[in-house]
A and B are shown apart, each in its own frame.
Chain A
Amino acid sequence: DARVTQTPRHKVTEMGQEVTMRCQPILGHNTVFWYRQTMMQGLELLAYFRNRAPLDDSGMPKDRFSAEMPDATLATLKIQPSEPRDSAVYFCASGLVSYGYTFGSGTRLTVV
């Protein structure tokens, strides 16, 4: 089965450090999402790419977060500097427009 691969699965870092999360979308998928999941907020959209171009990153704190797709096989989400309130599970999902989107297993980030 094709799958979305996210690395790392877990990350513990100190406040102020840079965090980079990576996502390998399924080959052929032209749409990539980044979501953050917390108990309080549920699944929040952070960024949204179509054919590697950013379409919507309005949900992302621009001063510290950045999302890129340097090529079709890699999407990255960076936090610099990280803060304790960034602790959450970050999911990447890929798919084709208006068809099923496949989620990765997530990166559980803990900022201490």
Chain B
Amino acid sequence: QQQVKQSPQSLIVQKGGISIINCAYENTAFDYFPWYQQFPGKGPALLIAIRPDVSEKKEGRFTISFNKSAKQFSLHIMDSQPGDSATYFCAAHSGNTPLVFGKGTRLSVIA
């Protein structure tokens, strides 16, 4: 119930391409779905988040797509850049549950 399953574990994308990372959850009580970006030696940093009342949220090159019926959400990075190379974590949370993280996806954007 508390798990968030994230895929793929690692991803290599050409510069300018689209990076897609997927997550699935079980607990329908979750009401907040953030994505975090982590660079080596740093703490995770909030990138973008969505609530289940909308199906998509876009901030710059980053878009979250949310499918409530399938209990899935995904991060799309458009026009991927080498500076986007990092580890990305999806997470889920509600007022009564802790912030639960996926296992992470290591993204490498190559020129």
Which of A4, A55, A99 touches B98 (beta carbons < 8 Å)?
A55
B32 within 8 A of A: yes
Contact A56 B98 (CB under 8 A): yes
A35 to B103, CA, bound (A): 13
- Which B residues between 59 and 111 are near A, CB-CB below 8 angstroms? 89, 93-95, 98-104
Which of B31, B42, B95, B103 touches A42 (beta carbons < 8 Å)?
B103
Q: What is the distance, in angstroms, from B87's C-beta to the closest C-beta of chain A?
A: 9
Q: What is the distance, in angstroms, from A108's C-beta to the closest C-beta of chain B?
A: 9
Contact B31 A98 (CB under 8 A): yes
A98 to B99, CA, bound (A): 9
B46 within 8 A of A: yes
* Residues of chain A lying within 8 A (CB to CB) of residue B89: 42-43
A77 within 8 A of B: no
**C-beta contact mask, A97-112 vs B, less than 8 Å → 1, else 0?**
1111111111000000
Which of B31, B34, B98, B104 touches A100 (beta carbons < 8 Å)?
B34
Contact B98 A43 (CB under 8 A): no
A100 to B100, CA, bound (A): 13
- Given A98-B31, A99-B32, A100-B49, answer yes or no on A105-B101 (Cβ-Cβ < 8 Å): no
Known contacts A42-B103, A45-B99, A103-B45; 12 further A-B pairs (Cβ under 8 A): A33-B98, A42-B89, A42-B104, A43-B89, A43-B101, A43-B104, A91-B44, A99-B32, A100-B34, A100-B49, A102-B46, A103-B36
User: What are 19 A-B pairs with beta-carbon distances under 8 A?
Assistant: A35-B101, A42-B101, A42-B102, A42-B104, A43-B44, A45-B98, A45-B100, A48-B98, A55-B98, A93-B44, A98-B94, A99-B32, A100-B49, A101-B34, A101-B46, A101-B99, A105-B42, A105-B43, A106-B43
